[in-house]
Structure 1
Amino acid sequence: MNNLHYRPLAVAVSLCVGLMSSVGAMAQETPRVATELDRVEVTGSRIKRAEVEGHLPIQTLTRTEIERTGLTSIGEVLQQLTGSGSALNAKFNSSGNFGFPPDGSGVGAGSAQVDLRHLGAKRVLVLVDGIRWVNESSASGVGSATDLNTIPLAIVERIEVLEDGASSLYGSDAIAGVVNIITRRNFDGAQVTMNYGEYSKGDGTQKGIDLAWGTQGDRYSLFLGASYTKQDPVYANTRDQSRLPKPGTGLSFGSGSIPQGRFQFVDPNTGAAQDLVPNVGSGTPTYDGSAGCSRTDDYHCFTSADRFNYAQYNLLLTPSERKGIFGQFRFDITDNLQWYVKALGNRRESTNQAAPEPIGLGPNAGTGNAFADNITVSALNPFNPFGFDLVSSDNLQFIGRRPVEGGARVFEQEVNTSYVATGLVGDFEAADRSWFWDVNGMYSKNKAEQTNYGSYNIRNVNLALGDPAICAATPGCVPLDIFSGEGSITPAMLQWIQPVVRDRSQNELSLFTANLSSELFTLPAGPLAFATGYEYRKYEGSYQPDPLTVIGHYNGVPSLPTSGSYDVNEAYLELSIPIFAKSALGEKLDLSLAGRYSDYSTFGGEFTPKYGLRWQVTDDFVLRTSYAEGFRAPSIGELYGSAARGDLEIFDPCSIGLGGDAPRGNAANCAALGVPSGFQSANSQISVTTGGNIELDPEHSRSFSAGFVWSPWFANNTEWSERFDVEVTFYRHTIEGAIQAINAQTQLDLCVDSLDPLYCNGITRANTGAISSFNNRLTNLGSIKTDGWDVDLFYTLPQTDIGQFKLGWQNTFVGRYEALGAAGQRQPQEPGVEVADSSIPEWTSNASVSWALDNWNASWTVRHISELTEQCGDASAFPICSDQVAGTNKLAATTFHDMQVGYKVDWMKGLQLSLGLNNVFDKDPPICLSCSLNGYDASTYDIPRGRFWYARADLRF
């Protein structure tokens, strides 16, 4: 066995020994009454045992704590944990030309995910009652993460979060941690919960109703639940921070594809380079071929004032409607054998919206679509005012026309989730010991359809702008007028060029598990316990874009079909070995060992071990440490995902900035790449081709944690303290061969700086200097390394005449985050930095105080995110960039406050009334200049002007 496995344990043992003397001395000097930590069930072990406190860094969210947030989505609740990173939620308006990620998962529109330790949602394993949940489907790809909106919050009893590697127990994906959602089971009676809330500006209304009913008998229990939740939209144009493309920059970062039309070409008659916009109200414009910007015709030269404000059509909060039903029945066949069956059905209907889709034509458009990039606009087109052909390979550079006549792009998703599971749970006595076993079978499917209104058929646009004779010979074709300004595109023209686009995708998971747990024999310090088991899983996934997209006629973000499947057979063994008990070295020392072998149909076998020590030094002080190896198998989308495109916010170092600042790139290198002096990109978005890679290997991880749990005897059951707990954990994760694409901005910068083919291959430019293609595919990157500390304190005061108070303070400090490309390229993510619509704060903190007296209760919660820094990019020319010299912007530390007050009416079994206010002081998020939409990081902060009030009524009978 590799000695590397033992090094983290040696470090932890040294730490334990170092702390032992001081803790032991304290225990000898001060007499006390022994106390024990509370006994709880935890995720992270298959062994059935009575004593599980402090074995692993587990955070448990009770139903009461979940309700205190006022949130209606499991994903949004988990994203408020201090150890959570950036992940999709309802604040991401992610359709439109936001683009496809390279892992083939699609844009995830309408979903809610969880990311732990900033390692990505696909590296978090989500379980429901200890069994895997199916991956997401949003009709735009084959996802490799879990959409938590497929699980109704109403069925949740509690959520257990293991922030440690656990591949040895659960297999692939459990690199950053495990989220185990425990459903409601033992319930007697009925419950109706109604909630309503909205933002202080009167929008973003949330309302819902949850129904629960359960009954129990001597040998059975039954629980039925139903849930309905509706979230209304919040529009970006209702908030000052999000009503423009980037706050504080006016229209400089608006789109160059505009309702009036922008025309860049070289006049073949005069040789004059033109960049023209027809004057408003000119009707059919006249063109006289004059050069310069002092014109006598119906045009003026394009300026930033002409740019289109696409932000006014965006959504700050996307609407959704979720309906779910769940049932769970358990029957005791004998005193030692139970059968269960569970079923769930859930439907999510959600909507994303983007600005009217631009039609970009010519080499500077860089769409990668031949119908757009290689077009000839005929001189014979009845609306062409120039009197000559506009040819991509000759005189045409760029046409940008925003057909607002066709309305905004609207993407409607319908996602249906089905789930059924059954199994047997039993125990028996043999060889003077108890044996516990279970067998489980499960099938689940996510099936999604997305309907897109407001996009265009670029092939039909090409025909309608070409030779009128060819158009006349094509059934349905109508010549298109993109030349006469806003309003020139008639309903007949729209009928020819504007289709309804439908995409579909699905993910399926079939699973069988069998587990056995008992004690092998008794050692001097206690019994040696074990758990072992077998698991079989089969994954199937597919994505089928609209036939229009497949054949290349779709004007929007292109993609191709994806389909694939694989299966895996696994076996595991876990041991809990007592080393000593009741000795001079402490109360108890246990060694835990676990190993899992996985055999994949796609790449073969993997073995993942885990080692842990738990040292209960005294009754109230526990030291623990663990070391685990893990892996994540490439997902269906990562392996088989076909070519797609992402339109990313990338700044070309060879281009004059949109704010007018000089190009950042080396002039000689830019010239060598074919970029002429004075070149300026037409838009701030660059189209990047993405896709899967069948040659991918699994990514491998190493996880280490060490820490302690302390419930000091002098602060438990005293006059001034009922209970006081301190939990400190150091964590470190290392991932080798991480599956992702090199950051596109980093690749482009390195290409311009070095001219190295390693970075420049795949990036091509048109003869105008514009990037015409950018290939940025998945690969096994060099490494990701991160470490940090969790420091949590919990204090419960004794009951007094003024009530009982409980305080909690949870903190995560990120010490390091370093991502390297396969050739050692340093990626831009690091602690304290905002990049690519995500952040890694150096410190996140949640503090709460709750109070209860008789029928009254109240709580106050404080959420803090430390300061961040971002690159201003082209916005460095504007005062909104806090350090224009360095080209960086500071996102100030931000603190949100939430409160809730409740009263319980003694009617029936209890009527609980609650009133809450989130973001009490209406704190705005810090302005983000590098973020793609809405001027802030939607994965980290509340929306601008985000004070939200809500009311809840919960009746039990």
Structure 2
Amino acid sequence: MKTFKSRLLATTITAGMAMVALPAVAQITPDAVQTTQADGSDATQGDVVVTGSRIARPEVDSPVPVTTVDRAQLLQRASPNVSDILNELPQVGIGQTRTNTNFLTSGTGVSTVNLRALGSNRTLVLVNGRRFVGGFGGDTAVDINNIPVDFLERVDNITGGSSAVYGSDAVAGVVNFVLRDRFEGLQIRAQGGTTEQGDNGRYFVSVTGGTKWGADDRGNAIVNFSYDRDEGLFSADRAISAQDCAGLICGPASYSSYAPQGQFQLIGANGGTRPVLAGGQSTFSYNPDGTLAVLPGYQSGVYGFNRNGVRRIAVPLERYLASGIFNYELSDKITAYSEVTYARTSSNASLEASALANTDIYSAGGIPITNAFIPTSVAAAIAAANSDGDPTNDVTSLGFRRRQNEVFDRSNRAQRDTWRAVVGVRGDLGSNVNYDVSYVYGHLNDFNASQDVDTARYRQSLDSIRVGAGNVVGVDIVCRDEAARANGCIPINLFGRGTADPRASSYVQAVVPKSEDITNEQHVVTGTLSSSSLFDLGAGGVGVAVGFEYRYESVVDDLDILTNTGGNSGNQIPDLTGSQDVREVFGEVNVPLLADRPFFEYLGVNGAARYSDYSTIGNVFSWNAGAEWEPVRGFRLRGRYAVANRAPNNSELFSAPSETFAGVTDPCDGITSTSTGATDAACRAIPAIAAFFNANPNGTFAYTLADTQGINGFVGGNRDLQEETAKTITAGFTFTPTFVPGLQFTADYFDIKIEDAISTLDRSDTVEKCLLTNDAVFCNNVLRFGATGYLQTVNAQLINIAGFQVRGIDATLRYGRPLGVAENDRLTLVANYTYLLDYKQQTDPATPEEEFAGTFGRGFSTHNLNARATYEVNGTGLSWQTTLLSGGPYLRNAFISNDPAVVALNDVDDYWLHNLQISQRIDDRFTFFFNVDNVFDTKPQYLPGTPYGTPTGLETSADFDVFGRRFTAGATFRF
């Protein structure tokens, strides 16, 4: 803490040059009602519909904390992707990003916003106050790659439940992207950048045009087209991630035992290993020179493979975005409007070739011992072992682990096409009553594909026999199955590096590529009647809004036939199809009670309610109630209590169980008739295990490797899910003192408690809790073999079982005034700070809460600061941005290592980043800028994936800047 305080003091002394492109509270400065935008256009502020309410009112009077990133700040950050900007805000945890989606089976390159680190599906994303189609199959989490940064006027962020105003999903908060609504002329922005090491190039061009049209200029149109490309970054291009690591060991000792030359193990009739090779070993591989090497078990080192050599730190991304906004005044009181968006996003992962094992190809056993490619010395050892007359000691097959370098590349290629259209009409009914009726259509098509194998063909190709005296594959050595030979089967040789015949590699590949074709569709109809002053009780107009909404969402997630049937190297996964709709009515009220009195410059109450009828979960009611009190001008207290909800999405409801063989631990493994572990008595009560001890009173009930590897399970959705419920408290104040013109300060306490959160139980925990409690919630998912008592299947199903609570304090400072040092100068300071009090999570009611506040990371660090200082004079601008994540343990409440040096890595220091922009406005038409990100080239802390669980390929956390110092140059031209 001493380090944090001393650095914060130093940062403050440097006149705020520790400040960020960061959210300002959605307010206007007292000395300037009209503000000048960075592109030279003017924006006049007045009564508007602020995010978090449907009643028009001055932004300065927002009843809830609203954090805003305005257009000027977006341009100062000079990022083509708005996700980079949002992920720097204190309220936002790391969602899906370019640096943690390389290993997703779908969603490569997707970007999501994750308020309070409570999950992207608990953050409601809006565009101009209306919903946007989800970016994952059956999920409501939005891919914000689809938001064109140059078409934005501002981005509003609200913490806490807003379901009464906007409906489901707004339990952690709301992010509302507000688009520009007026522009005339033509504007072009172009920029390019690279890191100091000359990689991860990023290029961006955007064209925006606007005009008035029609009789008496009643119509206006704005269109934007943008293109950008991010070239990605390989793990090998940074020293921290160039090699596989485990703890403090990087390099060959940590390489994968799935090597390109293969590693093989002799398997006996009982499923165990047969140590009949030289030196009493059962495993062999190949030296770098290609000679045979008998090994004591599976090895890495020179026999292993460096996976980080081909992985990515960040996936490449290419985007084409086209957007338009069109308005036409049908009369003085009626305006028709529309919005259209089209986005095409392409990305691809870079993964090491697939690691294939005999367990992926065979339900039991492995390569037949008659395989024609088995090395001569190994074949001789097998023959000798199998000639002793005791079949129980026979070698029956060969297990293997082999990297499929010359067979197939599992890196996926993803392309997402997103369409969105809005049509509506709004107008004035007189008597200060307005209406707005709109229809939103959203459509996502996400197609990703990769290579895989057909396991049936692979088994045919491994069952090779010799029919000739030579070694010609396909002539002297052929597939045993005649029908397979007629179908083109070529024997595959896995013994050694690069030994697979290309024809064999082609034969074992799946004829139909591994693919996933996702379609999300969304229809939303909304109608609202509102008045900012329906009548007056003497203290000001009573604001009212009432309305209805109908929403329909569907998903079709179509996987290839081999994935559906479990016929490739992956697990069996069925298709997903489902839909749901909801009918809602809502209302909102804002009631001024007192105004312009001593100690009561303003006193008012506000509230909202929404009744929802879902086709899936039935009726849901959400509401909020709040109050505002301004005892003296410029100082306003505000508070709100809200009950919000999140309905289960289509994926959570309708996903059919998918097969998994992920490792499960049985607490009964290793028990004896007298052992006294917490679950041992419950284990011995299982009839088959009791029978075992009756027959073997001095025995040990134990699993073989084959028993453990054979435990499968199915994980899927649940049509009986109900809504999650969030109870949110926000309380704070705004301070805009008249004696310090241009100053705004806000501070707000937030408390978000989510109950009945949708989650799954860990499968091993499920087994243990079944034994401890005999509760059907757990035991219905555990199936044992009746004859042996061994685990056969452990399933997991989504249920309303988890809980979260996040508490903290947000503070925002904004100050803007001319300094008078030079003519036309101006200093702007913006700072946003979050102090986190609690981040508690409970996986199920039988498990104690775990506290994660104070661990390192966005959404978890105790202190999180974003700030920016900008000084402008005569068209020249200098802007300095700083972000801080306070240090702490990376993992808490978890076993890390028995090595103290590895454990020491868990202590992460305070993390500061600094960014700089220099800009020059030549005139109203031309502006040039130069940005330096990570000015001091601050390095990420080493946090290896083993044991820290950081994203594969990074060997650090995605909370750090993994690229290093970056330079960006660009220009904006307006005609």
Identity of aligned residues (%): 25
Of 800-809 and 666-675, the range deviating more from structure 2: 666-675
Offset, 1:94: 3.5
- Whether 2:722 is the aligned partner of 1:697: answer yes
Q: Does 1:187 align with 2:183?
A: yes
The DSSP-based 3-state class of the residue aligned with 1:492 is helix
Q: Which residue of 1 aligns with 2:504?
A: 493
Matched residue, 2:845: 823
Could you tell me how far 1:75 is from its partner in structure 2? 2.0
2:830 pairs with 1:808: yes
Cα-Cα RMSD: 3.7
Query: What do residues 361-380 of structure 1 show as CA deviations (whole Å, max 9, x unaligned)?
Result: 23xxxx6xxx4443442222
Aligned-partner Cα distance in 2 for 1:698–1:314: 39
1:790 is displaced (CA, Å) by 0.5
Alignment of 1:250-399 (within 5 A): 250=250, 251=252, 253-267=254-268, 274-280=281-287, 301-305=297-301, 306-362=303-359, 371-385=361-375, 386-387=378-379, 398-399=399-400
1:751/1:897 Cα in 2 relative to 1: closer, same or farther (>3 Å)? farther
TM-score (normalizing by structure 1): 0.83
> 2:543 corresponds to which residue?
529
Q: In structure 2, what residue type is equivalent to 1:157? A: E
In structure 2, the partner of 1:565 is 579
| Aligned residue in 2 for 1:882 | 903
Alignment-derived partner of residue 417 in structure 2: 416
Return the match for 1:924 from 939, 951, 956.
939
Q: Is the 8 A contact 2:492 2:505 kept in 1?
A: no
Counterpart selection for 2:971 from 932, 953, 957: 953
CA 1:755 to 1:265, structure 2 compared with 1: closer, same or farther past 3 Å? farther
Report the alpha carbon displacement of residue 599 of structure 1 after superposing the two structures with TM: 0.7
TM superposition shift of 1:821: 2.7
Number of the residue aligned with 2:516: 503
Match of 1:876, SS? coil
Residues 619-655 of structure 1: CA distance to partner in whole angstroms, max 9, x if unpaired?
2101000011111111000001123367989999999
Residue of 485, 502, 513 corresponding to 2:526: 513
Contact 2:806 2:837 in 1 (8 A): yes
CA distance in 1, matches of 2:307, 2:679: 32
Residues 755 and 168 from structure 1, CA distance in 2 versus in 1: closer, same or farther, beyond 3 angstroms? closer
Instruction: Provide closer, same or farther for how the CA distance between residues 878 and 498 of structure 1 changes in structure 2, counting only shifts above 3 A.
Output: farther
Q: Secondary structure at the match of 1:173?
A: coil
Q: Give the structure 2 partner of residue 70 of structure 1.
A: 78
- Gap change, CA 1:548 and 1:62, over 3 Å in 2: same
Helix, strand or coil at the partner of 2:211: strand
Give the aligned partner of residue 850 of structure 1.
Answer: 870
Shift of 1:396: 6.3
CA shift at 1:753, angstroms?
Answer: 9.9
2:598 is the alignment partner of 1:584:
yes
Structure 1's unaligned 5+ residue stretches are 1-33, 100-106, 286-296, 657-664, 717-722
The equivalent position to 1:154 in structure 2, one of 150, 153, 169, is 150
Cα 1:522/1:874, change in 2 over 3 Å = closer
2:192 alignment counterpart: 196
Q: 1:491 to 1:653 in 2, by over 3 A?
A: farther
8 A contact 1:595–1:607 mirrored in 2: yes
Q: Which moved more, 1:394-403 or 1:791-800?
A: 394-403
2:170 to 167, 174, 186: 174
Q: Are residue 478 (structure 1) and residue 489 (structure 2) matched? A: yes
The alpha-carbon deviation at position 266 of structure 1 amounts to 4.2
Residues in 2 aligned to 1:472 and 1:669: alpha-carbon distance in whole angstroms: 55
Contact 1:851 1:859 in 2 (8 A): yes
**Pair 1:751–1:174, CA change in 2 (3 A):** same
Asked whether the equivalents of residues 570 and 597 of structure 1 are also in contact (C-alpha less than 8 Å), the reply is yes
User: Any residues of structure 2 matched to 1:131-150 within 5 Å, and which?
Assistant: 131-137=130-136, 141-150=137-146
Counting only pairs closer than 5 Å after superposition, residues 4-43 of structure 1 correspond to structure 2 as 41=48, 42-43=50-51
Aligned mates of 2:661, 2:90 — CA distance in 1: 31
Contact persistence 2:100–2:951 (CA under 8 A): no
2:18 corresponds to: none
Structure 2 residue matching 1:353: 3-state secondary structure: coil
For residues 254 and 786 of structure 1, the distance between their equivalents in structure 2, rounded to whole angstroms, comes to: 40
AA at the equivalent of 1:46: R
> How many angstroms apart in 2 are the aligned matches of 1:670 and 1:895?
52
Which of 712, 735, 745 is the aligned partner of 1:726?
745
Q: Is the 8 A contact 2:493 2:501 kept in 1?
A: no
CA distance, structure 1, for counterparts of residue 284 and residue 764 of structure 2: 31
Instruction: Go from structure 1 to structure 2 and tell me whether the alpha carbon gap of 1:256 and 1:281 turns closer, same or farther (over 3 Å shift).
Output: closer
State the partner residue of 1:444: 442
CA contact (8 A) 1:626 1:704 kept: yes
TM-score with structure 2 length normalisation?
A: 0.82
Report the secondary structure of 1:781's partner residue: strand
Distance 1:560 1:425 in 2: 45
Is the 2:208–2:225 contact (alpha carbons within 8 Å) kept by the matching residues of 1? yes
Q: 1:304 to 1:652 in 2, by over 3 A?
A: farther
* Contact 2:450–2:514 under 8 Å retained in 1: yes
1:500-535 CA-partner distances (Å, limit 9, x unpaired): 322100111011111101244321222222000111
Q: Write the distance in 1 (CA, Å) between the matches of 2:849 and 2:766.
A: 9
- Displacement after TM superposition at 1:35 (Å): 8.7
Partner of 1:833: 855
The separation in 2 between residues aligned to 1:845 and 1:675, in whole angstroms, is 55
The residue that corresponds to 1:600 in the other structure is 614
Following superposition, the deviation at residue 682 of structure 1 comes to 12
- 1:537 & 1:559 partners in 2: Cα distance? 29
Shift of residue 170, structure 1, vs aligned partner: 0.6
SS in structure 1 of the partner of residue 542 of structure 2: strand
Contact 2:679 2:768 in 1 (8 A): no
CA distance in 1, matches of 2:836, 2:728: 15
String of CA shifts for 1:107-166, please: whole Å, max 9, x gaps: 4221100011111100111111111000014xxx43331110122222212111111211
Matched with 1:609 is 623
Instruction: Identify if the C-alpha distance between structure 1 residues 642 and 598 changes in structure 2 by more than 3 Å, giving closer, same or farther.
Output: same
CA positional deviation for 1:801: 2.3
1:480 & 1:893 partners in 2: Cα distance? 57
Deviation (angstroms), 1:724: 1.9
Deviates more, 1:779-788 or 1:698-707: 779-788
Displacement after TM superposition at 1:745 (Å): 7.8
Residue of structure 1 aligned with 2:87, choices 64, 79, 82: 79
Displacement of 1:258: 2.0
Q: Contact conserved, 1:279 with 1:300, CA < 8 A, in 2?
A: no
Letter in 1 for 2:623: P
Q: Cα distance, 1:416 vs. partner?
A: 0.5
329-338 or 297-306, which deviates more: 297-306
Amino acid in structure 2 at the alignment position of 1:627: Y
Q: Out of 790, 793, 798, which is 1:778 matched to?
A: 798
Q: Distance in 2 between matches of 1:136 and 1:647?
A: 28
Paired position in structure 2 for 1:231: 230
How many Å apart are 1:482 and its aligned residue? 5.1
Cα deviation for residue 443 of structure 1 reads 0.8
Structure-2 residue corresponding to 1:547:
561
What residue number does 2:61 align with?
53
Instruction: Report the equivalent of 1:739.
Output: 758
